[in-house]
Structure 1
Amino acid sequence: MTETMKAVAYTRSLPIDDAASLTDVVIDVPTVRPRDLLVEVRAVSVNPVDVKVRAGNDPQGVSKVLGFDAAGVVRAAGADVTMFAPGDEVYYAGDIGRPGTDSQFHAVDERIVAKKPSTLDFAEAAALPLTAITAWEGLFDKLRIDADTTGTLLMVGATGGVGSIVLQLVRALVPGLRVIATASDDAGTQWVRALGAADIVDHHLNLRDEVRRVAPDGIDYVFTTHSTGQVETYADLLKPFGQIVAIDDPETLDVLPLKPKAISWHWEFMFARPIHETADLIRQRELLTRVAELVDEGSVRTTATTVLSPIDAEQLREAHRLVETGHVRGKVVVAARW
């Protein structure tokens, strides 16, 4: 194994159209911890969190490698690894507290890694982990939805990476739950309909009126990627004892309008388990394994819609630029060998 590797890093929080916002670097190959895998990265995807970290956490001149989603091949394993071996093809979403996946090799705890879906290539697989974990934890850990759940869920931000997985998981695992999805154009409408939405509403119009049009008696759940200015609308649309799970980062949030109906608000942050090394950390491996099974049986499909190549600073800058527009359906992936 070579002692150095190629990577893409940033040293200052710069606009993405600045050539220095992401640069090609050569750094040391990471040293694996006892429970780590050393993965040769074949594909990564760019999420809104990549953009947020790059824009809001200036490393003050120190090279910092971004990237969370990855698919690749295990090349080495720590002394205490029991679930994987060199040669295994894997996918995962990483740990926000450790160096990122935009590198030729990446060290990651085996408890948050799963075998890659066998029916997907590396690019297709790299689109899934972070959004699949977020969608799964939001639905099943936070809202406590299960196979017997009925009622109506409003998915706000349905055309994005997380929403695209929420729709598919509900369709595959919760057949009695009706999903209303937001979309703003014909292409978005076709996308969410194909993924399982029963009804589509235009979030650029009056969301309250749009939802009331298709659910006059109200809704039971909200899964939202856009909370700012929406709490009163959600409070009005939800039935008593309804529930909301949110994944965004509003600067302020007043949830008092939820109290008269005893509506519950949940935060979903898929990095909470790896950051805090929780006792149930292996849950992320388990759920990614289940998602891989759903993919291989044809119940869930990749959400990769744009695949750039190769993995280098130029292509990652373009991927960040696309994500920053806020108009990406599904996921942007950067793939191919370094």
Structure 2
Amino acid sequence: MKAIATAGRPEAAPEHAFQIIERETPQPGEWDLLVRIKAVSVNPVDTKIRQGAILPNDQQHVLGWDVAGQVETVGDKVTGFAKGDQVYYSGEVERPGCNAQYQLVDARLAAKAPQKLKPEEAAAMPLTALTAWEALFDKLKLSQGDDTHRDETLLIINGAGGVGSIATQLARQLTGIKVIATASREASIEWCRTMGAHEVVNHHDLIDTMQSAGYPEVDYIFNCADIGDHWDNMNALIRPLGHIVAIAETKKTVDLNQLQGKAVTFSWEFMFARSLHGYHIEHQGQALEKMAAHFDAGHLSSTLSEVIGPLTPENLGHAHRKLEEGHVTGKLVLTAMP
């Protein structure tokens, strides 16, 4: 089979960072699905790993952790899946990724794809949707239901990004909480409103714009940006005994002691933590199954914003470049290898 691998040169520009390689089509282990890739999405974590995070940066790696595809073979212990099933999943960062013709994935991390979504639309969702689901419902412990959290507020920092986009939908559609998203450009502001945000505020002057909008403090904050850029803002805006969850690390120094006076809870969300440590990995397949039902019921919509083209080294590099430039709304998707 063909796959697209990194060149093993983390300093290379995205346009020169990938090459086609030939590998034997893998055979599934007892818990695995062998999936023929129909569409993939690209995430910021892909760019970080290409540049040397998590995996050895002097080796070739097949990246990619957002998939829509078709089951070709199932392992001996797999239940609930059969050849021909359409599936979607994110997978495991320590196994070869989806930038290939075929991929193995542990069936417990996958779910049948939403029937109402095209492969390109489904591929946009798994990594960001799982991140948002775990942040909102596992970490912040929001309760689902139209009448829940009616008197509470959730601030989503970087509301137009991939995670912020689906987090806005999940919070708006599955709870009764008031959702406030941050954005600054006209296109991203409109995108946040389309995703369902009750309010959109400018993150460049966050405290003042929040106060002007009538929100001097909030109950929950979901930070999808560099925590160092917003640490003081979050400390000022979170209410006493509030809860902050974040997904993006920082190179800046932050003072966790600032949160002590209000007895604020701070949580990390890292979607790959379950598979990296083998901790109840079936939780992710179950979450994707629940969200597939919501997509099919019309409660959620895909955050696909652009189909770059077929999966080639050139198109993959172009997608990485766009992500690194930092102005992407929603998700970038590539179709199957030519």
TM-score bin (small chain): over 0.9
Cα distance, 1:18 vs structure 2: 4.5
1:47 match: 43
2:218 match: 219
Question: Any idea what the Cα deviations from partners look like across 1:183-240, whole Å, max 9, x if unmatched?
Answer: 1121111111111111111112x21111122234411000002211322221111110
2:182 match: 182
Q: Which whole-Å CA distance do the structure 2 matches of 1:77 and 1:155 have between them? A: 39
Q: TM-score if structure 1 supplies the norm length? A: 0.94
Answer yes or no: is 1:6 the counterpart of 2:6.
no
1:167 match: 168
Q: Which whole-Å CA distance do the structure 2 matches of 1:131 and 1:92 have between them? A: 11
Task: Return closer, same or farther for 1:173/1:60 CA change in 2, 3 Å cut-off.
Answer: closer
Q: Secondary structure at the match of 1:229?
A: helix
1:244 match: 244
1:228 match: 228
Equivalent residues in 2 for 1:13-32 (5 A)?
A: 13-19=10-16, 21-32=17-28
Q: Which whole-Å CA distance do the structure 2 matches of 1:337 and 1:311 have between them? A: 5
Identity of aligned residues (%): 43
1:34 match: 30
Q: Secondary structure at the match of 1:324?
A: helix
Task: Return closer, same or farther for 1:109/1:17 CA change in 2, 3 Å cut-off.
Answer: closer
Answer yes or no: is 1:83 the counterpart of 2:80.
yes
| Alpha carbons 1:231, 1:257 under 8 Å: kept | no
| Alpha carbons 1:16, 1:320 under 8 Å: kept | no
| Alpha carbons 1:231, 1:255 under 8 Å: kept | no
Q: Which whole-Å CA distance do the structure 2 matches of 1:85 and 1:145 have between them? A: 34
Q: TM-score if structure 2 supplies the norm length? A: 0.94
| Alpha carbons 2:46, 2:63 under 8 Å: kept | yes
| Structure 1 stretches of 4+ moved >3 Å | 57-62
Q: Which whole-Å CA distance do the structure 2 matches of 1:67 and 1:17 have between them? A: 14
| Alpha carbons 1:231, 1:258 under 8 Å: kept | no
Task: Return closer, same or farther for 1:61/1:188 CA change in 2, 3 Å cut-off.
Answer: closer
Q: Secondary structure at the match of 1:83?
A: coil
- Unaligned runs of 5+ residues in structure 1 are none
Q: Which whole-Å CA distance do the structure 2 matches of 1:105 and 1:140 have between them? A: 32
Cα distance, 1:171 vs structure 2: 1.4
Q: Which whole-Å CA distance do the structure 2 matches of 1:154 and 1:141 have between them? A: 17
Answer yes or no: is 1:93 the counterpart of 2:90.
yes
| Alpha carbons 2:40, 2:336 under 8 Å: kept | no
Cα distance, 1:61 vs structure 2: 5.0
Task: Return closer, same or farther for 1:83/1:257 CA change in 2, 3 Å cut-off.
Answer: same
2:313 match: 313
Q: Which whole-Å CA distance do the structure 1 matches of 2:192 and 2:171 have between them? A: 12
Q: Which whole-Å CA distance do the structure 2 matches of 1:182 and 1:15 have between them? A: 33
Q: Which whole-Å CA distance do the structure 2 matches of 1:13 and 1:217 have between them? A: 43
Give the alignment partner of residue 65 of structure 1, picking from 37, 53, 62.
62
Instruction: Give the length in aligned residue pairs.
Output: 330
| 1:284 alignment partner AA | Q
Instruction: Please provide the CA RMSD for this pair.
Output: 1.4
Answer yes or no: is 1:110 the counterpart of 2:107.
yes
1:298 match: 298
Q: Which whole-Å CA distance do the structure 2 matches of 1:100 and 1:189 have between them? A: 33
Q: Which whole-Å CA distance do the structure 1 matches of 2:295 and 2:69 have between them? A: 17
Q: Which whole-Å CA distance do the structure 2 matches of 1:67 and 1:337 have between them? A: 13
| 1:7 alignment partner AA | A
